[in-house]
Amino acid sequence: MRPIYTPSGKAKEYADLALNIYTGCPHRCFYCFAPGVLHRTREEFHSHVEPRRNIVEETRKQIEREGITGQTINLCFTCDPYPVGYDTSVTREIIKVLKESGNHVQILTKGDGSRDFDLLDGGDWYGITYTGAHYKQEPNAASTTTKISKIYEAKQLGIKTWVSFEPVINSDRVLDAISVYYDLFDKVKIGKLNYWPSDIDWAEFGRAAEALCQKLGLDYTIKQGLREEMEGKK
């Protein structure tokens, strides 16, 4: 087992290395891609959430065996490091192993990771996913208010902050969030909705988002899929 891996495809635009801690995610976002990637039914994926077997020990062994150090490792892609309503002490242990071996973490969550802020420093990233979706479309994820408040808390502690605006479900809400909260974000990544139909004009949204980020002086990345829409590529 090699818990730390090199992402491919769209995930590669987020991180050079990543680690997935749990077997599923309870947030039940309608657009979730992970069940298909993991060849599981959506119900199984959303209802069976537990740490991968021996994940902490296997991570420690891999780091020692491969000499992994000085890297920033994303937590997580096919699950959430802070699944709402579950014990996330394993996430804390994973962060300890990574930090003790001289690595940093880039957290991406729709939950609340503030319980582990004491482990993080200025070389780490704490990030949230914001899609602009209605709560019924992400029924078990933390509220927007909670997620933004944790970004604020991380920022005050000197932890670097970021937001993944992907997938985008409501483009107006995403643009509003950038306008209102931009001073809380050290970087943002902006994409589109993949694998599901949408009536959003992606080229128009992408251009508006980029212009807004430039106006506000934000460190931003337009994901490749959205960039292609903006440039008229299919």
Domains and CATH numbers, the chain: 4-230 (3.20.20.70)
Please give the pLDDT value at position 10: 75
Other beta carbons within 10 angstroms of residue 219's beta carbon come to 11
Q: What is the pLDDT of residue 233?
A: 62
Within 10-52, residue ranges assigned H as helices are 34-38, 42-47
Give pLDDT, residue 45. Answer: 95
Asked if residue 38 lies in contact with residue 45, where contact means CB atoms within 8 angstroms, the answer is: yes
**Residue 224: how many other CB atoms lie within 10 Å:** 14
DSSP assignment letter at 232? T
Say what the pLDDT of residue 116 is. Answer: 98
**DSSP-derived 3-state class of residue 9:** helix
- pTM of the predicted model as reported, rounded to 2 decimal places: 0.95
pLDDT at 11: 77
Q: Please report which helix (H) or strand (E) contains residue 128, including its range.
A: strand 125-129
Give the tokens for residue 97. Answer: 């192993």
List per-residue pLDDT tens for the chain, 234 residues long.
Answer: 899 999 988 778 889 999 999 999 999 999 999 998 899 999 999 999 999 999 999 999 999 999 999 999 999 999 999 999 999 999 999 999 999 999 999 999 999 999 999 999 999 999 999 999 998 999 999 999 999 999 999 999 999 999 999 999 999 999 999 999 999 999 999 999 988 899 999 999 999 999 999 999 999 999 999 999 999 865
pLDDT of residue 211: 98
